């Protein structure tokens, strides 16, 4: 994992969960050890436990599989009562989704999983309503889901996704990192985006890839040939090898085309020269006879 990315994520976790510990005169060794474990560890290709049962924002019991099967899923783990980091992360998600042409419930699903088992559906419903009011995308309510759950299903989901956090008793809050994940319709983790800002271009390409071409445009497919997902950074960058291959093929094609055109031109000139020579030779007998 990228060391600089890990440092940033741990710093963000400190903002959310270590206010009480930071005020302590003497650092707690056990707490420090736990903080070193706070991270989002990529589990690309791993399957999520879709049999886990949660409670949605209406208080209805649901299975995680209810949100999979048809389209890719944008997944986020959240601490609804987080005083700082989660609010900033939600704002980053909101800005990204505003920039996307894709809509929740149509091209993809959004599933927010609250990882504090003490939180209730009423709180999740309030957070969801606030998000929808700011998002203002018609029909989005069909594809945005805020869940709460008991400790065991939360543990299974977070462990499967590589989301590592802990509860700090001194501050009374959770220390955690921030990021979003994209899973395929089959429930396999496909892409991770770290931090609190998620580039719309990268998220769009991640959704297109996770959908296996079911959503997006031909332009997206071309972009995926030129851009490559880097697991270390959680971002898309130029696929240098692919570009070099394309450039190499284009160069060879151009050379072949140039040679073909040159040969064709030489043949035309040769045929034209032969015709002129034939015309001159054909006129010689008559000219001699007249003489």
Cβ-count burial 178-199 (b if 16+ within 10 Å, e if not): bbbbbbbbebebbbbbbbbebe
The confidence score (pLDDT) of residue 170 equals 83
Task: Give me Rg for the CA atoms of the chain.
Answer: 31
The confidence score (pLDDT) of residue 157 equals 98
Contact predicate 247/224, CB 8 Å? no
Range from 6-10, 203-207, 268-272 carrying the lowest mean pLDDT: 6-10
The confidence score (pLDDT) of residue 3 equals 42
Tokens of 164: 């590592």
| Overall pTM > 0.85 | no
Element (H, E) at 109: strand 109-114
Task: State the average pLDDT over residues 216-233.
Answer: 59
Q: What's the pLDDT tens digit per position in 162-186?
A: 999 988 888 888 988 999 999 999 9
Contact predicate 105/143, CB 8 Å? yes
For residue 229, list its beta bridge partners: 236
Q: For strand 109-114 and strand 73-78, is the pairing parallel, antiparallel, or unpaired?
A: parallel
Question: What is the three-class DSSP state of 144?
Answer: strand
Contact predicate 197/222, CB 8 Å? no
The confidence score (pLDDT) of residue 265 equals 73
Range from 44-53, 128-137, 190-199, 268-277 carrying the lowest mean pLDDT: 268-277
Task: State the average pLDDT over residues 270-284.
Answer: 60
The confidence score (pLDDT) of residue 29 equals 59
Q: Percent of the chain having pLDDT more than 90?
A: 52
Contact predicate 108/143, CB 8 Å? yes
Q: Kindly tell me if the per-residue pLDDT of 38 is higher than 90.
A: no
Q: What's the pLDDT tens digit per position in 61-75?
A: 999 999 999 999 999
Q: Smallest Cα–Cα separation from 136: which of 144, 145, 125, 148? A: 144
Q: Which fold has domain 3-237?
A: Glutaredoxin (3.40.30)
Average pLDDT in the chain: 79
Q: Count of CB atoms within 10 A of residue 115's CB?
A: 21
The confidence score (pLDDT) of residue 131 equals 97
How many Cα atoms sit within 13 Å of 47 on the Cβ side? 7
The confidence score (pLDDT) of residue 169 equals 85
Q: Count of CB atoms within 10 A of residue 123's CB?
A: 17
Distance from C-alpha of 67 to C-alpha of 63, rounded to nearest angstrom: 8
Distance from C-alpha of 200 to C-alpha of 5, rounded to nearest angstrom: 19
Task: State the average pLDDT over residues 143-155.
Answer: 98
Q: Smallest Cα–Cα separation from 56: which of 109, 5, 8? A: 109
Q: Kindly tell me if the per-residue pLDDT of 15 is higher than 50.
A: no
Q: Kindly tell me if the per-residue pLDDT of 129 is higher than 60.
A: yes
Q: What's the pLDDT tens digit per position in 75-105?
A: 999 999 988 888 999 999 999 999 999 999 9
The confidence score (pLDDT) of residue 275 equals 65
The confidence score (pLDDT) of residue 37 equals 80
Element (H, E) at 224: helix 218-226
Contact predicate 208/196, CB 8 Å? no
More confident residue, 140 or 171: 140
Contact predicate 179/85, CB 8 Å? no
The confidence score (pLDDT) of residue 152 equals 98
Burial class (CB in 10 A: 0-12, 13-18, 19+), 45: exposed
């Amino acid at each position: 994992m990228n060391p600089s990315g890990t440092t940033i994520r741990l710093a963000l976790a400190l903002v959310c969960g270590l206010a009480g510990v930071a005020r302590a005169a003497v650092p707690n060794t056990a707490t420090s050890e736990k903080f070193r474990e706070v991270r989002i560890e990529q589990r690309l290709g791993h399957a999520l436990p879709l049999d886990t049962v949660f409670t949605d924002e209406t208080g209805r019991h649901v299975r995680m599989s209810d949100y999979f099967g048809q389209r890719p899923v944008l997944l986020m783990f959240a601490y609804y009562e987080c005083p700082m980091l989660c609010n900033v992360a939600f704002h980053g998600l909101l800005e990204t989704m505003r920039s996307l042409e894709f809509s929740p419930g149509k091209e993809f699903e959004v599933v927010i999983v609250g990882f504090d088992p003490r939180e209730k559906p009423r709180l999740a419903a309030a957070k969801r309503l606030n998000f929808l009011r700011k998002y203002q995308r018609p029909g989005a309510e069909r594809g945005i889901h805020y869940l709460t759950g008991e400790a065991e299903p939360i543990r299974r989901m977070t462990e499967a996704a590589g989301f590592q956090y802990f509860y700090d008793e001194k501050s009374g809050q959770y220390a955690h990192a921030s990021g979003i994940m994209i899973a395929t319709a089959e429930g396999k983790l496909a892409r991770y985006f770290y931090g609190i800002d998620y580039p719309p271009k990268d998220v769009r390409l991640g959704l297109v890839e996770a959908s296996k071409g079911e959503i997006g445009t031909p332009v997206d497919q071309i972009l995926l040939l030129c851009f490559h997902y880097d697991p270390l950074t959680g971002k898309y960058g130029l696929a240098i090898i692919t570009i070099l291959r394309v450039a190499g093929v284009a160069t060879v094609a151009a050379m072949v085309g140039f040679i073909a055109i040159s040969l064709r031109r030489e043949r035309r000139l040769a045929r034209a020269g032969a015709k002129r020579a034939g015309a001159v030779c054909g006129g010689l007998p008559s000219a001699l006879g007249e003489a």
